Amino acid sequence: MASKSLIDTNPYLKDSKKYLDALITNVSSSTAIETGESIQAISQNISNVTHSIFNAPPEQKKSKPR
């Protein structure tokens, strides 16, 4: 029996908004523990970042081979 991948079974990974929110929360809380900075400040800084790993690139259509 084939196992389903985590992205297929975890509702937070299926919904990109929930995934992004959970990722920012996770990174913020971990960073706060290590640096002593507030979770809210770190979360805000991460949310303000543009052109980073947190911003998924737009989906591109695959071209058909000729």
pLDDT, tens only, 5-46: 887 888 777 787 888 888 889 999 999 999 999 999 999 888
Provide the domain count of the chain: 1
Question: Residues 28, 30, 33, 36: what is their CA dihedral angle, to the nearest 10 degrees?
Answer: -30
* Domain presence at residue 39: yes
Supply the pLDDT for residue 61.
Answer: 56
Supply the pLDDT for residue 32.
Answer: 95
* Domain presence at residue 5: no
Supply the pLDDT for residue 21.
Answer: 84
* Domain presence at residue 60: no
* Domain presence at residue 37: yes
DSSP string covering 9-41: H-HHHHSHHHHHHHHHHHHHHHHHHHH---HHH
- pLDDT per position as a tens digit, 54-63: 555 555 555 5
Supply the pLDDT for residue 41.
Answer: 93
Supply the pLDDT for residue 52.
Answer: 61
* Domain presence at residue 36: yes
